[in-house]
């Protein structure tokens, strides 16, 4: 039997036969009339299971969303019943630009040099934080973008919990509010258990701290101290850390306030930076 290289992702081992073509290219930033967009392409040397999942764009609306979740389960990305239920309930198609491949397992540009993560990354972060997203708990989503993952958090903690999304792009915050209003999480927004704010997410959102769960949707060069301070003892933060080479870090704060960190997997996120640096002053 011919052997092949292997790699580990999300606790599973995979055989990765090389592709015939190996290249890595990033194109320059292009400005559009409405907002700047990040345009990129990436071809990797190995055939991961997630590259096969990108091909699945089955149906539209609830049909396409359900197929997306079923594919994530079939490829072993989702193992949690609760995470599957939440991602099936909250239609990803409501949180991406019109005309996008809403249910393909790939990140998508959302304007202002920001992206919405691929579904497998959302599923991964939800499962890493699931124990800290129980009914009545509090969660902070830094870099909330179009509001999709923030909405998932809200469905998990319920009306008795509190979820805060923070993004420094006002237009994205406005968009996220409209997106959530159209979704099953809309009632939680109306009741006040879910809120979306304009702000520098690197500073957290002190008004409702401390948080049982903190998620950061962009890569930090180092973990912001303000987020560590706002993490509740016994809480967990999931944050990508690094510049060119990035790792998804799982940060646990013990009851005595001590911090333990571990690496979940290698990732590639847009950088966690200021509004001016992200948009080029747009």
Helical (H) or strand (E) element with 120 = helix 119-129
State the pairing for strand pair 211-216/194-198: unpaired
Q: Which residues share a beta bridge with 214? A: 140, 237
210 upstream amide cis, omega within 30 of 0: yes
- 3-state class of 114 per DSSP? strand
The label of the residue with tokens 């202002």 reads 112
Q: Which two tokens stand for residue 187?
A: 């009632």
Strand locations in 67-173 (E): 108-111, 114-116, 138-142, 162-167
State the pairing for strand pair 108-111/30-31: unpaired
**Residues with active-site annotation:** 117
């Amino acid at each position: 039997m011919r052997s092949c290289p292997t790699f580990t992702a999300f606790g599973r081992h995979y055989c990765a036969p090389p592709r015939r073509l190996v290249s890595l290219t990033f194109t320059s930033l292009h400005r559009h009339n409405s907002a700047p967009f990040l345009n990129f392409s990436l071809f990797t040397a190995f055939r991961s299971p997630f590259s096969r999942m990108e091909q699945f764009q089955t149906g539209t609306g609830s049909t396409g969303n359900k197929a997306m979740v079923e594919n994530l389960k079939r490829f072993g990305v989702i193992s949690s019943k609760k995470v599957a239920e939440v991602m099936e309930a909250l239609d990803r198609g409501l949180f991406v630009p019109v005309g996008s491949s809403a249910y393909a397992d790939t990140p998508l540009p959302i304007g202002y040099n920001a992206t919405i993560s691929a579904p497998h990354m959302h599923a991964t972060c939800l499962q890493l934080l699931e124990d800290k997203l129980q009914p009545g708990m509090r969660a902070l989503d830094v870099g909330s973008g179009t509001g999709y993952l923030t909405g998932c958090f809200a469905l998990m903690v319920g009306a008795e919990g509190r979820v805060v999304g923070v993004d420094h792009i006002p237009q994205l915050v406005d968009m996220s509010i409209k997106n959530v209003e159209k979704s099953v999480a809309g009632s939680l927004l109306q009741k006040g258990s879910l809120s979306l704010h304009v702000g520098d997410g690197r500073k957290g959102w002190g008004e409702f701290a401390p948080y049982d769960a903190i998620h950061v949707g962009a890569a930090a060069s180092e973990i912001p101290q303000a987020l560590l301070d706002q993490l509740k003892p016994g809480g967990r933060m999931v944050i990508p850390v690094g510049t060119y080479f990035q790792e998804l870090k799982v940060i646990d704060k013990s009851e005595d306030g001590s911090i333990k960190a571990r690496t979940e997997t290698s990732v590639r996120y847009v950088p966690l930076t200021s509004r001016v640096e992200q948009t080029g002053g747009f």
